[in-house]
Amino acid sequence: MGKGKIEIKKIENLNSKQVMFSKRRNGLLKKAKELSILCDAEVGVIIFSSIDKVYQWSSTTRLNAKGLDGLSFKELQQLEHQLNEGILSVKEQKEQILLEQLKRSRLQEQNTILETETLRNQVEELQQRTSSNLLEFNPLRIRFSTTSSKADDYDCASEGEDDDNDENDHSDTSLHLGLASDVGRKRKVAKVEPITNDSGSQVASE
């Protein structure tokens, strides 16, 4: 039985990604060596990892700028052309990696801005709720204070009326006492009127 078809998609798990990269890299280098030996071909492999680490292998030392003695001008031009193409490929790959990193950084920045704005809105909403709760609580205190003030005013007014009643009672009592004293004083005044009886004696009557 043949092996099942493996779905080719990006590996999200970092550890699994590193394991797969190491396995496939070694397999690719092995295949390149086999190809150069079996087919007598010049093979060069350059691999860039996700952490910008470079792995390279070549079937000849010419790609490493070694063993150039004995090459003709045309062969040197061909080698230069190959190296230039390799350099351009390396630059393009580096630019692509940098662009992806920049894109991820901008995306993270946008997410951070959105999170910050969300937190700010939550804080403002919480402050507004706290203010509204305080405003709802203060009128109750005001009503309680007003009721207490009215009760105090009523008590003061009642005390004032009681004091006035006491003063009126005292004045009435004094008035009655004064009238009684006058009446007693009048009663004590004796009027002597001469009364003549048959015997001609005078009797003092009060």
Give pLDDT tens digits for 76-96: 788 778 778 878 888 888 888
| Alpha-helix residue ranges (DSSP H) falling in the chain | 14-38, 73-188
- Assigned token pair, 118: 């969300």
- Assigned token pair, 95: 């630019």
Q: Tell me: the pLDDT tens digits for 9-44?
A: 888 888 888 888 889 988 988 898 888 888 888 788
In angstroms, rounded to a whole number, what is the distance separating the alpha carbons of residues 75 and 70?
A: 10
- Which of the pair, 40 or 166, is modelled with greater confidence? 40
In angstroms, rounded to a whole number, what is the distance separating the alpha carbons of residues 89 and 109?
A: 30
> What pLDDT does residue 10 have?
83
Residue 111 has pLDDT above 60, yes or no: yes
CB 32 within 8 A of CB 43: yes
Rg (CA), the chain: 61
CB 32 within 8 A of CB 26: no
- Which phi-psi region, left, alpha or beta, contains residue 181 (left: φ > 0; alpha: ψ -120 to 50)? alpha
CATH tag for 12-61 (out of 3.40.50.300, 3.40.1810.10, 3.40.50.150, 1.10.287.130) = 3.40.1810.10
Residue 202 has pLDDT above 70, yes or no: no
Q: Which residues, 6+ apart, have CB-to-CB distance to 28 below 8 Å?
A: 45, 47
Q: What are phi and psi of 194, to 5 degrees?
A: -70, 130
In angstroms, rounded to a whole number, what is the distance separating the alpha carbons of residues 171 and 154?
A: 25
In angstroms, rounded to a whole number, what is the distance separating the alpha carbons of residues 26 and 50?
A: 16
In angstroms, rounded to a whole number, what is the distance separating the alpha carbons of residues 61 and 56?
A: 12
| Per-domain residue ranges of the chain | 12-61
> What pLDDT does residue 205 have?
43
Average pLDDT over residues 169-189: 48
Mean pLDDT score of the chain: 70
Which of 47, 22, 23, 57 is closest to 97 using CA atoms?
A: 47
In angstroms, rounded to a whole number, what is the distance separating the alpha carbons of residues 98 and 109?
A: 16
Lowest mean pLDDT among 113-117, 118-122, 142-146: 142-146
**pLDDT grade, residue 108 (50/70/90)?**
very high
